[in-house]
Chain A
Amino acid sequence: MKDGTGTLLTLALQFSLLSFLAIGGAITALPEMHRQAVDVYHWMTSTQFTQLVAIAQAAPGPNVLIVTLIGQQVAGIPGALVATVCMCGPACAVAFQTVRAFHHFKESRWAVAIRAGLIPVSVGLVGATALIVARSADQGWGALLITAATFAITHWTRISPLWALGAGSLIGLVGLL
C-alpha cells in the first residue's frame, strides 16, 4: 500500500515536470518518458514501451494519451488518471495564463524569437522519438520493411496511415515477423 502511494507520487511528480518540457507537443517528451520508464525506474522494458507507443498511435485521441497507458501499466487505473491529469494540468494552467499576457506582445521581437527558436529544438526531439521507437521496434528485416513502407506511404501518398498500421499488425499477427 505504501509502495502504491509512493509510485503514484513518483508518477505525479515526473509527469508534472515532463509536461513543462513538452515543447511543440507531447511527442517531444517521449524520449524522456522512455528514459525514465525503462532506465531510471525500470517500470517496463524498452520493447513494452514501444508497444505502448504503438497502441497510442493507432488509437484515436491526442498523442498525449501515451501517458495514460504508461500510468496504467505502472499503477493501474489510479496510475492512468494521475499520469493523464499531471501531464495536462500544470503546464496547461501556465499556458492559459501566458496566453492572456501574450495577447499584448505577440508581435514583439521577443515573442517572434521564442517562437522561431523553439521550432528547431522540437524538430530534433520528434526525430529522437522516431529513432527510439524505430530502434526498439525493429527486430529484423520484416519489421524494418514495414517501417520503411509506412514511412513511404505516409510521406509520399495521401493514403491514411491507419492502413499501414493495420497492415503492419496483420502481418505480425499471421506470424511473418
Chain B
Amino acid sequence: MTEHVVEQPPTIVVPTTTDLFLGFFKIAISGFGGVLAWARRIIVQERKWMTADEFNELFALCQFLPGPNIVNFSLIYGARIRGPAGAAAAVLGLMGPPTVLMIVLGSLYSRYGALPQSRGALTGLAAAAAGLLISTAVSMAEPLPRKGIGNLLIAAVAFIAVGVLQWPLLGVLAVLVPLSIARAWRRA
C-alpha cells in the first residue's frame, strides 16, 4: 500500500471498506452522549482519514442537511471513498451495533422499568440527562449574540413555540426557517 504524503505533515490514509466499518463502529460505541467529539478524534487524529479542515467542512454541510447529521456524514464519506459498498459499511458500522444495544436496553426497560429501584435510578438518570441537554443548548447559544441580536430572538421564538407552548414543529419551522434564511440572505 502506498501512502501519499500531502504538502503538510499529516498523511492522509484512505480506508478500505472493512476499515470504514470498524472505524465507524468504534465511533459509535465510544460515543457516550453524542458521537461528534469521538468522530473527530478517531477520524482526524487516530486514523488520519481526513484533515481537521476537511472534517469541519463535511460536518458543517451535514449539519444543515435534513436527517441525523452523523449518519449523513458516514453515508457521504463512505460513498466518497469506496462507493456504495463503502457507504453501506460506514452506516452499518455506525448504526448496527448501537441499534442492537438499544433494543436490549429497551427490553430491560419494558420488563424492569416499573420496579421501585429502577424508577428511582431512572428519575436520577433523567434529571442528569436534562442537565446535559441544558449544557448543550447553552454552548450552542453562546456564539449567537455575536452575530446580531436578531439571531437570539429567532432562537428564543423557536424555544418558546416548541418548548413552552409545545406547538407542532412543522408549522413553527415553516414560518421561522424562511424568515431566518431571508435575514441571513440580506446580511450575506
A residues in contact (CB < 8 Å) with B: 17-27, 29, 31-32, 34-35, 39, 48, 50-65, 68-69, 72-73, 77, 80-81, 84, 87-88, 90-92, 94-96, 98-99, 102, 106, 109-110, 112-134, 136-139, 142-144, 146-155, 160-162, 164-165, 167-177
Q: How far is the CA of A116 from the CA of B133 in the complex (A)?
A: 22
Q: Which residues of A sit under 8 angstroms from B52, Cβ to Cβ? A: none
Q: Could you tell me if A126 and B95 are in contact, using CB atoms closer than 8 angstroms?
A: no
Q: How far is the CA of A126 from the CA of B155 in the complex (A)?
A: 9
Q: Could you tell me if A56 and B163 are in contact, using CB atoms closer than 8 angstroms?
A: no
Q: Could you tell me if A92 and B75 are in contact, using CB atoms closer than 8 angstroms?
A: yes
Which single member of A31, A62, A125 contacts B35 (CB below 8 Å)?
A: A62
How far does the Cβ of B43 sit from chain A's closest Cβ, in whole Å?
A: 14
Q: Could you tell me if B126 and A60 are in contact, using CB atoms closer than 8 angstroms?
A: no
Known: A68-B106, A73-B106, A94-B67. 14 other contacts (CB 8 A): A20-B67, A21-B66, A60-B101, A61-B101, A73-B109, A88-B71, A92-B72, A116-B147, A120-B144, A125-B169, A137-B126, A150-B127, A160-B32, A168-B125
Can you list 26 A-B contacts with CB-CB less than 8 angstroms, sorted by A residue number?
A18-B169, A23-B173, A32-B170, A51-B122, A55-B125, A60-B31, A60-B32, A62-B34, A62-B98, A65-B98, A68-B102, A69-B106, A73-B109, A88-B68, A91-B72, A95-B72, A112-B184, A118-B64, A121-B180, A123-B137, A126-B137, A129-B163, A130-B137, A134-B131, A172-B121, A172-B124
Q: Which residues of A sit under 8 angstroms from B188, Cβ to Cβ? A: 109, 112-113, 116
Q: Could you tell me if B162 and A53 are in contact, using CB atoms closer than 8 angstroms?
A: no
Q: Which residues of A sit under 8 angstroms from B29, Cβ to Cβ? A: 60-61
How far does the Cβ of B146 sit from chain A's closest Cβ, in whole Å?
A: 12
Q: Which residues of A sit under 8 angstroms from B177, Cβ to Cβ? A: 23, 117-118, 121
A-contacting residues, B172-188, CB 8 Å: 173, 176-177, 180-185, 187-188
- B134, B164, B168 pick with most chain A CB within 10 angstroms: B134
Q: Could you tell me if B133 and A146 are in contact, using CB atoms closer than 8 angstroms?
A: no
Q: Could you tell me if A21 and B64 are in contact, using CB atoms closer than 8 angstroms?
A: no
Decide yes or no: A69 and B102 within 8 Å by CB, A20-B67, A95-B76, A147-B134 being known contacts.
Answer: yes
Q: Does B2 contact A (CB under 8 A)?
A: no
Q: Does B156 contact A (CB under 8 A)?
A: yes
Summarize A's interface: helix, strand, loop or mixed: helix
Q: How far is the CA of A132 from the CA of B37 in the complex (A)?
A: 25
Q: Could you tell me if B130 and A61 are in contact, using CB atoms closer than 8 angstroms?
A: no
Q: Which residues of B sit under 8 angstroms from A34, Cβ to Cβ? A: 166
Q: Could you tell me if B127 and A125 are in contact, using CB atoms closer than 8 angstroms?
A: no
Q: How far is the CA of A49 from the CA of B131 in the complex (A)?
A: 16
